[in-house]
């Protein structure tokens, strides 16, 4: 349904084409995109003030992490202790006295966010003595959560913990929340839509009942998102798209685009080697609901 808008918003003066207006097409007030490129989007854009998705003039759009997105039923609200804390602290190189200073930056690219995470952790040889970098997803981008690894085991704020090639979710064996993922097969990232949200979301399960760690052939924990990369002679990105369900019920689509700095990922993926530094994890993502 189109909403009535004033003439100055719909037309440019003199010759030209109609201006883009947030909310003049169905779904634009809930698609997490800045459709009119004015720096505001969805219910935070005044053009959506009359949209039913934003509750009209009296709506409380919530702000914070979900902005103009409709509320979802939360998946969980109370923290649950991970089962193998002592083993995880030791085997995953977790620190109780350090907080990552790895930079997390987010830019917009059309309807997508692109987040670059410094998950170098001091380099390969020093990574076991350095902390994970934690991030949360919000409607204005991804942000670093400044907690140490020990505190991450009781903190529901973060969604991803990242160190080198390892991405762990805040759920199950890894954290107290219930963040889950579902691998989308047979599609590339751009083709994934809200219609693909079906099936079970997987939480972290890299320990057995006796707290034995499940690892891949090179010794990394078999996290739920381990298939974002493959290794022959360097870390190649598979470009597998993932659906990520947050604890509040919102769902994102995510793809890991790079692991190496600069042109390193292209060099690795096409030529099988690179001299660029690893640990620069770039995520492309978008809210679907």
Q: How many CA atoms lie within 13 Å of 207's alpha carbon, on the beta-carbon side?
A: 20
Buried b / exposed e along 95-105 (16+ C-beta atoms within 10 A): beeebbebebe
Q: Which residue, 182, 194, 160, 158, is CA-closest to 289?
A: 194
% of the chain surpassing 70 pLDDT: 86
* pLDDT recorded at residue 4: 40
Buried b / exposed e along 180-210 (16+ C-beta atoms within 10 A): bbbebeeeebeebeeebbeeebbbbebbeee
Give the Cα separation of 32 and 68 in Å (integer): 8
Give the Cα separation of 7 and 155 in Å (integer): 50
DSSP class of residue 89? H
Q: Which residue, 185, 272, 169, is CA-closest to 221?
A: 169
Which residue is associated with the tokens 């409709």? 70
Return the H-helix or E-strand segment holding 93.
Answer: none
Q: Each residue of 82-113: pLDDT tens digit? A: 999 999 999 999 999 999 999 999 999 999 99
Q: Are 24 and 7 in contact (CB under 8 A)?
A: no
Contacts of 30 (CB under 8 A, 6+ apart): 42, 53, 68, 69, 70
Question: Whole-number mean pLDDT of the chain?
Answer: 87
* pLDDT recorded at residue 289: 94
Give the Cα separation of 92 and 149 in Å (integer): 10
Contacts of 222 (CB under 8 A, 6+ apart): 206, 214, 215, 216
Q: Each residue of 176-206: pLDDT tens digit? A: 999 999 999 999 999 999 999 988 999 999 9
DSSP collapsed to 3 states, 236-272: EECCCCEEEECCCCCEEEEEEEEEECCCHHHHHHHHC
pLDDT band at 1 (very low <50, low <70, confident <90, very high): very low
Q: Are 244 and 83 in contact (CB under 8 A)?
A: no
Mean pLDDT on 148-152: 98
Q: Which residue, 117, 85, 79, is CA-closest to 100?
A: 117
* pLDDT recorded at residue 6: 38
Lowest mean pLDDT among 40-54, 144-158, 224-238: 40-54
What torsion do the CA atoms of 248, 238, 226, 198 make, to the nearest 10 degrees?
40
Whether 275 shows a pLDDT value over 90: the answer reads yes
How many helices (H) and strands (E) in the chain? 4, 12
Q: Each residue of 29-88: pLDDT tens digit? A: 777 777 777 767 777 777 776 665 665 433 333 333 445 789 999 999 999 999 999 999
Lowest mean pLDDT among 20-24, 131-135, 170-174, 220-224: 20-24
Mean pLDDT on 118-143: 96
Give the Cα separation of 226 and 215 in Å (integer): 10
Q: Are 132 and 100 in contact (CB under 8 A)?
A: yes
């Amino acid at each position: 349904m189109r909403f009535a808008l004033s003439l100055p918003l719909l037309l440019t003066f003199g010759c030209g084409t109609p201006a883009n207006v947030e909310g003049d097409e169905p779904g634009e007030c809930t698609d997490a995109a800045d459709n009119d490129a004015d720096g505001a989007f969805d219910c935070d854009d005044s053009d959506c003030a009359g949209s039913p998705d934003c509750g009209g003039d009296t709506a409380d759009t919530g702000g914070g992490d979900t902005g103009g997105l409709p509320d979802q039923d939360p998946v969980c609200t109370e923290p649950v202790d991970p089962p193998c804390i002592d083993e995880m602290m030791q085997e995953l190189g977790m620190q109780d006295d350090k907080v990552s200073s790895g930079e997390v930056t987010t830019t917009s690219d059309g309807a997508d966010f692109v987040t670059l995470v410094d998950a170098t952790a001091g380099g390969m040889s020093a990574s076991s003595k350095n902390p994970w970098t934690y991030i949360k997803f919000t409607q204005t981008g991804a942000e670093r959560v400044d907690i140490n690894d020990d505190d991450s085991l009781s903190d529901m704020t973060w969604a991803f913990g990242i160190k080198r090639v390892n991405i762990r979710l805040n759920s199950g064996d890894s954290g107290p929340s219930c963040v889950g993922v579902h691998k989308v097969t047979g599609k590339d990232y751009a083709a994934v839509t809200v219609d693909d949200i079906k099936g079970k979301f997987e939480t972290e399960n890299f320990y057995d009942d006796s707290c034995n760690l499940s690892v891949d052939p090179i010794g990394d924990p078999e996290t739920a998102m381990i298939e974002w990369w493959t290794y022959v002679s360097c870390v190649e990105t598979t470009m597998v798209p993932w659906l990520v369900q947050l604890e509040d019920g919102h769902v994102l689509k995510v793809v890991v685009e790079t692991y190496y700095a600069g042109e390193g990922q292209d060099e690795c993926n096409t030529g099988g080697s690179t001299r660029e530094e690893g640990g620069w994890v770039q995520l492309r993502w978008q809210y679907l609901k």
